[in-house]
Structure 1
Amino acid sequence: MSTVIERPSLWLRLKPLFVGYDFWLIAAILLLAGAGMVTMYSAGFDHGTRFVDHGRNMMLAAGLLLVVAQVPPQRLMALALPIYAIGVALLLATALFGITKKGATRWLDLGIVIQPSEILKIGMPLMMAWWFQKREGQLRAFDFAVGALILAVPVGLVMKQPDLGTAILILSGGLYVMFFAGLSWRLILPVLAVGVVGVTALVLSEDAICQPDVVWYVLREYQKHRVCTLLDPTQDPLGKGFHIIQGMIAIGSGGIHGKGFMNGTQTHLEFIPERTTDFIFAAFSEEFGLAGVVGLLLGFVFLLFRGLIIAAEAPTLFSRLLAGALSLSIFTYCFVNMGMVSGILPVVGVPLPFISYGGTAMVTMGLGLGILMSIAKSRRMMQS
């Protein structure tokens, strides 16, 4: 008598694709995505198809999030070294054969034009988490030194392009992994102290630094201008200081409750440069005021803490390090973007997650959040 084996129903086969997601993470993503669409509708109202394109980019990022969420963290760990190696190889190819625009060599033509440094925004935390997972239980100072070398190679190549904003994001992603892996405060504090002393020296010697006859060897020319503009944007109010001045005017003019949706004068009279990309936070602040900004900040804070909770509950060291680094990377995006628009940081090309226009940035964000969801989902599936 033959044995009849019943095939599982279609629902049972598809069920793993729809269960195990972190509800609170999804809620935070949807709220921030909604804020991004509302802001883009106003800021990009007379800016071509930016609103429609922003929605398309979000849908693409959402699709990537759902796909990556199905990939187990163990498979992601196996992909870490190849992704890092491909990213560094493409950065080297960019340095040798890349496309130069406006004095920067950041793009590579492989049939389609790509920006290889974007790969390392995700590849760096993956690689660093892989390295420290391999050294689990036997971490020594030598292991952190190797980690620093792994980090320094792509950061140096991106700085050479030059692309300060992307270099900061790649560097921060790697440093967060090292911090969560147990890098001693005795090593972290001296670096922070040197940074504080350096910034203080810049402020105290503002007049000397920004004089044309002073040679500032450490930074490139455009970086010198950014620091000088940060210290005193009124030196060139119609030139290099225009972005910061108009951004601060827009933020201040929003007041407590803002001027109202679609009523931002600085935005719609086109005083805010890059109002749909890097400086969209100024447009948001003008129309929704302090109350809107607080709400937006609370949304990002909730997303950050939800990511850190996922990291704390992750079952493996690799997952904990990766989830923690990706969560704090979102903080870096927000802090740098809001800081530069508010005039407390130099202007660098760092978008505001979910809010700023940009397909590449949205794809990178979708991949990062997909990895977070994968880690959360794997833990829930293990518990069930």
Structure 2
Amino acid sequence: MSNVFERPSLWQRLRPVFSGFDLPLMLGLLVLATLGMVTMYSAGFDHGTRFVDHGRNMLLAAIILFGVAQVSPQRLMQLAVPLYTLGVMLLVATALFGITKKGATRWLNVGVVIQPSEVLKIAMPLMLAWWFQKREGQLRTLDFVVAGLLLIVPVGLVAKQPDLGTSILILSAGLYVIFFAGLSWRLIIPILMAGAIGIAALVLSGDAICQDGVEWPVLRDYQKHRVCTLLDPTKDPLGKGFHIIQGMIAIGSGGITGKGLMNGTQTHLEFIPERTTDFIFAAYAEELGLVGVLGLIGAFTFVLMRGLMIAAEAPTVFTRLLAGSITLSFFTYAMVNMGMVSGILPVVGIPLPFISYGGTAMVTLGLALGMLMAIAKSRRLMQS
């Protein structure tokens, strides 16, 4: 009789908390975290406390990831509407009462200073995944129109701050959900063709439209300068083109195997601007070369493939759409950062996941990957 009422051991009570984690995904994230710590030490050992602070931020992201992974997908779905509503309200409050720094109104004082646009990086895919879950099996064109409106409102508010980088990330996260929900290729292909034609026209007419006095509709002057600098950074090599030129020099000078950790001349002679944040990829490529870059891209690709596999195996529309959007958004961060540092894309201030220094970005990363892990974990626990 005593065995019937025997209390479970501590491990038996904690086992559900630690079980069900997706080991391949954890392995991929561990590789990226290790590369991030090594790179930060190499690029920032003579840059104050960046290495220690990066480790602290990474530990915080790991704790957040572990905590969010315990939340069921059903609970995540319940949080979608309140979180989206709160995020939009904070963006409106920022537009009305926000703190302006360097011409941008991106911050709001609510007792502590916050950047509300970060909330939408998480809330946007949650909201749209919830929306399409509610319309499972009865999707109409109108449903995609409503989804587009839900997406455009926060993107427009963030772009108006102005914060082009964050608005692109929120827009891409929402578009990924809409794409996975079944948007017709008949609508996608014309948009892609129009984009390709627009880029080609921009490149061919760059000299004419980048002249002083030529105004661009919609875009602000600094955004115009970013695009024009991308087209020809040598026009202002000591000014607006300095970042891109020095980044490309650092990447090219790394060669096949790199100059070795802590031996990057462009990095440690302060030629690379923001060498521990947005431009850390240039420092990484200089010191580890093409071999290191291919390894980093391989690690990101592994996480991408594993995340898409988790999405494909997810049991509900909500979890499939959310997992797919989180995975592609994570990959977008990496590819946009590498592209802008390499001179392929405009400089928009997007960090390289796990590698770049930044507390807010690391917290957002922990939240997003925690939700992806929660989806993988729920499926494994259902099968066991």
Q: Shorter-normalised TM-score: what interval?
A: over 0.9
Question: Which residue is 1:191 aligned to?
Answer: 191
Give the superposition deviation at 1:203: 0.7
Secondary structure at the aligned position of 2:108 is classed as strand
Runs of 4+ more than 6 Å apart: 1-4
Say which SS state the counterpart of residue 126 (structure 1) adopts.
Answer: helix
Could you say if the C-alpha distance between residues 334 and 2 of structure 1 is closer, same or farther in structure 2, counting changes exceeding 3 Å? closer
1:169-207 deviation line (CA, Å, top 9, x unaligned)? 000000000111000011111111121111111111111
Tell me the CA shift for residue 2 of structure 1: 11
Aligned position for 1:368: 368
Match of 2:213 in 1: 213
How big is each residue's C-alpha offset from its partner over 1:226-252, in whole Å with a ceiling of 9 and x where there is no partner? 011000000000000000000000000
Give the aligned residue type for 1:361: A
When normalised by structure 1's length, the TM-score is 0.98
1:224 counterpart = 2:224: yes
Determine the structure 1 residue equivalent to 2:246. Answer: 246
The aligned residue for residue 357 of structure 2 is 357
Q: 1:351 to 1:2 in 2, by over 3 A?
A: closer
Deviations 1:67-95 (A, max 9, x none): 00000000000001001000000000000
Q: Which amino acid aligns with 2:43?
A: A
Distance 2:347 2:2 in 1: 73
Q: 2:21, 2:198 → 1: CA distance?
A: 45
Query: 1:105 aligns to what SS in structure 2?
Result: strand
Counterparts of 2:87 and 2:369 in 1: how far apart (Å)?
Answer: 20
Q: 2:267 matched to 1:263?
A: no
Could you tell me how far apart the structure 2 residues matched to 1:310 and 1:241 are?
A: 41
State the alpha-carbon separation in 1 of the partners of residues 36 and 14 from structure 2: 31
**Aligned residue in 1 for 2:86:** 86
Cα shift readout 1:9-66 (whole Å, capped 9, x = no counterpart): 3222111011100001111111100000111111112211110000000000000000
- Once residues 17 and 42 of structure 1 are traced to their aligned partners in structure 2, the CA distance between those partners, rounded to angstroms, is 35
* Pair 1:111 & 2:141 matched: no
Alignment of 1:318-357 (within 5 A): 318-357=318-357
TM-score, normalised to structure 2's length? 0.98
Q: Which residue identity lines up with residue 115 of structure 2 in the other structure?
A: Q
Query: Partner of 1:140 in structure 2?
Result: 140
Question: Alignment partner of 2:319: what SS?
Answer: helix
- State the alpha-carbon separation in 2 of the partners of residues 17 and 84 from structure 1: 28
Give the structure 2 partner of residue 96 of structure 1.
96
Amino acid at match of 1:307: G
Corresponding position of 1:19? 19
Residues in 2 aligned to 1:118 and 1:205: alpha-carbon distance in whole angstroms:
35
Between the aligned partners of 2:255 and 2:342, the Cα distance in structure 1 is: 14
Per-residue deviation, 1:217: 2.1
Whole-angstrom distance in 2 between the partners of 1:133 and 1:358: 34
Partners of 1:269 and 1:3 in 2: CA distance:
70
- Look up the equivalent residue of 2:339 and give its one-letter code: G
- 1:155 is paired with a residue whose SS is helix
Cα 1:243–1:2 shift into 2, 3 Å? closer
Q: Does the residue aligned with 1:32 lie in a helix, a strand or coil?
A: helix
Letter in 2 for 1:257: T
Name the CA shift for 1:204/1:380 in 2 (closer, same or farther; >3 Å). Answer: same
Secondary structure of 2:199's aligned partner? helix
Counterpart Cα distance in 1 of 2:119 and 2:214: 38
- The secondary structure found in structure 1 opposite 2:216 is coil
Provide the secondary structure at the position in 1 that maps to 2:35: helix
Give the stretch that moved more between structures: 38-47 or 77-86. 38-47
> Which stretch shows the higher mean deviation, 4-13 or 151-160?
4-13
SS of residue paired to 2:106 = strand
Q: Confirm or deny that 1:62 pairs with 2:57.
A: no
Shift in Å at residue 215 of structure 1?
2.1
TM-superposition CA deviations, 1:305-326 (whole Å, max 9, x none): 0100110111111000000000
Cα offset, 1:3, TM superposition: 11
The aligned counterpart of 1:292 is 292
Matches within 5 A, 1:6-45: 6-45=6-45
RMSD over equivalenced CA pairs, Å: 1.2
Amino acid at match of 2:197: V
Mean alpha-carbon deviation: is it higher for 228-237 or for 194-203? 194-203
In the alignment, the residues of structure 1 paired with residue 3 and residue 372 of structure 2 have an alpha-carbon distance, to the nearest angstrom, of: 43
Give CA-to-partner distance per residue, 1:240-296, whole Å, 9 cap, x none. Answer: 000000000000000000000100000000000000000000000000000000000
Bigger drift between 221-230 and 2-11 goes to: 2-11
Distance in 2 (CA, whole Å) between partners of 1:310 and 1:266 is 40
Q: How does 1:111-130 map to 2 (within 5 A)?
A: 111-130=111-130
Please give the alpha-carbon distance, in whole angstroms, between the structure 1 residues aligned to 2:96 and 2:367.
28
Q: CA–CA distance in 2 between the matches of 1:117 and 1:370?
A: 19
Q: Deviations over 1:130-188 (max 9, x none)?
A: 00000000001000000000000000000000000000100000000011100001111
Displacement of 1:4: 6.3
Distance, in Å, in 1 between the alignment partners of 2:359 and 2:35 is 17
Percent identical pairs in the alignment equals 77
Q: Which amino acid in structure 2 is aligned with residue 155 of structure 1?
A: V
